[in-house]
Amino acid sequence: MSPLLFPEPFGSFPDSGTGSFTIYNAPTANGHPHDGLHVDSQNRVWFDEEFANKLAEAIQSGVPMPTPTPTLGSTPIPSPTPSPSPGVTLAQDTFQRANQTHWGTASDGHTWGGGANSSSVFSISGNTGKVANGSTSYNAVLGPVATNAQVLFSGSLSSFNGANLGAALRWTNGNNWYKAYINGTNLVVQKKVNGTTTILKQVAFAATAGTSYTLRFSASGTSRHRNSQCLSMTPSLKG
């Protein structure tokens, strides 16, 4: 059965944590934001539209646009716009391996960190990474440290009752990160600094238990974009 394709929304907000959180739809039907995300000196967000083979641009609302400073007796010269550069894959895992306890070694050769190789709630079954029979928040980390990064993953929860599913970027440790997640009723962007969590923005998003959702989350320059290398889950207990 072929997948149904719809224009995929994406959003961004200023690094300060204040200002407008803007939601956009991919300009082309059946296209969605893909690799190559780049924020230039004029706060313009560039990305590839997968399936549409096009380059798209979004100008953030509520973010000031820099203007060139004229020099006495000279004509202002606009700043050049850098061309978007393709991203480099830092880490990936297809989970195409034998059933096992823990997540072990990813398909690209990296070893999973966080709780993925120490907590018994992590396992691989049927070529799928699973977290089951847990009662707290769990994290799985893969790949090297990177300032500007993007994570893309698909997953589902058996229940959203007291549970959420998301991805973190600029992860330092369990007390310092940025995270985007779904909890069944909202899409939430949250930060945790020195152990204190703050919700930066949330928008209504109804998610259904047992349905697979794809989440992309990116950091580029001083902007955070929904849609780094850490998967974070708060699963419900299974009977």
What ranges do the domains of the chain cover? 100-234
Contacts 24+ apart (CB under 8 A), 112-119: 112/140, 112/141, 112/142, 113/140, 113/141, 113/142, 114/138, 114/139, 114/140, 114/141, 114/230, 115/139, 115/140, 116/140, 116/141, 116/142
Mean pLDDT for 218-227 is 54
Q: Does residue 200 or residue 41 have the better pLDDT?
A: 200
Token couple for 12? 């961004």
Tell me the average pLDDT of the chain. 74
Q: Does residue 190 or residue 53 have the better pLDDT?
A: 190
State the pTM of this model: 0.58
With bands split at pLDDT 50, 70 and 90, how would you rate the model's confidence at 77?
low
Give the pLDDT confidence score for residue 72 in this predicted structure: 54
Give the pLDDT confidence score for residue 105 in this predicted structure: 95
With bands split at pLDDT 50, 70 and 90, how would you rate the model's confidence at 120?
very high
Give the pLDDT confidence score for residue 32 in this predicted structure: 63
Look at residues 237, 235, 217 and name the one whose alpha carbon lies nearest to residue 227.
Answer: 217
111 beta partners? 105
Q: Has domain 100-234 been given CATH number 2.60.120.560? A: yes
